[in-house]
Amino acid sequence: MNVTIIDVAKKAGVSPSTVSRVISGSTRISAATTKKVKIVMEDLGYHPNLMAKNLVSRTTMTIGLLLPRNADEAFLDIFFSEVTRGILSKATRAGYDLLLKTGKSEQEELEAVTRLVKGRRVDGIILLQSRLDDTVIRYLQQESFPFVLIGRDRERPDILTVDNDNVQAAYDVTRHLLELGHRRIGYASGPLELVVSADRHEGYRRALEEAGIEPQPGWFVSTELVRADSTSAVRALMDRPDRPTALVVMDDLLAFSLLNSLSELGYSVPEDMAVFGFNDNPMSPVSSPPISSVDIGVYHLGLEAAGLLLRSVKGEQPEQRRVIVPHRLIPRESSQPIKVT
C-alpha cells in the first residue's frame, strides 16, 4: 500500500499542488494549512522523500558492497573498479542504489555488515571474498539475509556465488601451451589459502596429466618465494636440468615480477620461457613483451552478482546457485611455440 500525494490531498481536503507546496516549504501556504497537511502526512505515513517511501514499503532499494580490507593488493585494485561498474550497471537499471562498506579487520567488517542488516540499510549484500570459517558469511546465513559471494566458498556450496570456472581456465591455458609444443610447463601460484589458486593449480595439473606429463614439484613457484626474492626463485627454477620452457602464472602482476627476474638473469621471454598470465591487467598489452593473459570478465562477474542478488532479494528461487562467467584466452607475445633446439 503506497500512500501518494493524492491520498494526502484528499484526506486533508486540499489540492495536490497545495500538498506539493507544503512539501517544498513554500511560504505561500498558511501555517494552519501547512500544519493540517503535515498531520495528515504523518497519519498516513506519507513522507516526501525516498527514504520515507522506503520506510513504508520496508525495502531500501539499495544493495551493499563489502570492499575487502586487503584490497590494497594490486589485482583487487583493478578488479574493484570493474566489478563495481558491473554491479552498478545492473543495480541502476533495476532502480537500486549501491552502498559501499569496508572494515580494517574481519571484526570491523562484521560490525559494518551487522549495522547494514540491523539498521535495514540495504536489501542485500555482495561480498568480494570469503575466508575459511568466514564470520561475515556465517552471520548473513544466520540472519537469512540475502547475499551473493563473488568467488567460491568450498565449505559452503549452498550459498549464492558468481565465479569463473578457474579449473577450466587454467586447464585451457595449459592445453594452449601444450599445443605450442611445450612439455615442461611450470606453475607460478598465488597464495595457496585462496580457493582461486587451488582451482587454477588443479586445472594446470589435470591438463598435464591428460597429456601424460607428471608435474614436477620443482616446477612450482610460490608467490611467497617471488615476493621474498624473485631473482632467487627464478634462478632456482632455471638451474634445474629439467627446467620448464613455459609457465602458467596465476596473475599478471606475478608474471611481471618473473619477467623482470628472467631478464635480470639474462633470459629472454618468450625465447627462453613462454609466460601466460591471468586477469588481463591493463599493463599487460603494453608490457615488453606484451603478456598473454586470461580475461576473466570482471565486469560480468559484477553484473551477474547484482542480478543474482536482486532475484534473491525479491524472493525468487534462482535456478542455479552458482553462476559461471566465461573466461577468454588472450595470447600475446609472451607465449610462443617452443624453440626447436
Q: Is 98 in the site for a copy of itself (CB under 8 A)?
A: yes
Residues 252 to 281: which contact a copy of itself by CB under 8 A? Answer: 253, 256-257, 259-260, 263-264, 281
C-alpha cell at position 294:
586470461
Name the minimum Å distance from CB 272 to a copy of itself. 14
Fill in the per-residue mask, 37 to 76: x = in contact with a copy of itself (CB under 8 A), - = not in contact: -----xx-x-x-xxxx-xx----x-x--x-x---xx-x-x
Q: Is 310 in the site for a copy of itself (CB under 8 A)?
A: no
Q: Is 309 in the site for a copy of itself (CB under 8 A)?
A: no
Question: HEC string of 116-157?
Answer: HHHCCCCCEEEECCCCCCCHHHHHHHHCCCCEEEECCCCCCC
C-alpha cell at position 111:
560490525
- Report helix, strand and coil shares of the chain as percent, to nearest 5: 45, 15, 40
Q: Which is nearer to a copy of itself, 30 or 260 (CB)?
A: 260
Name the minimum Å distance from CB 42 to a copy of itself. 7
Q: Is 107 in the site for a copy of itself (CB under 8 A)?
A: no
Q: Which is nearer to a copy of itself, 60 or 312 (CB)?
A: 60
**Cβ–Cβ < 8 Å for 190, 201:** no
Burial class (CB in 10 A: 0-12, 13-18, 19+), 247: buried
Region of residue 193 (left: phi > 0; alpha: psi -120 to 50; beta: else): alpha
C-alpha cell at position 185:
610447463
**Cβ–Cβ < 8 Å for 254, 293:** no
Q: Is 121 in the site for a copy of itself (CB under 8 A)?
A: yes
The DSSP code for 49 is S
Q: Is 81 in the site for a copy of itself (CB under 8 A)?
A: yes
DSSP states of 202-254 as a string?
A: HHHHHHHHHTT----GGGEEEHHHHHHHHHHHHHHHHTSTT--SEEEES-HHH
Q: Which is nearer to a copy of itself, 174 or 281 (CB)?
A: 281
* Candidate segments 117-125, 134-142, 308-316, 324-332, binder of a copy of itself by CB under 8 A: 117-125
Name the minimum Å distance from CB 117 to a copy of itself. 11
Residues in contact with a copy of itself by CB under 8 A are 42-43, 45, 47, 49-52, 54-55, 60, 62, 65, 67, 71-72, 74, 76-78, 80-82, 84-85, 88-89, 92, 97-102, 112, 119-121, 230, 253, 256-257, 259-260, 263-264, 281-283, 286-290
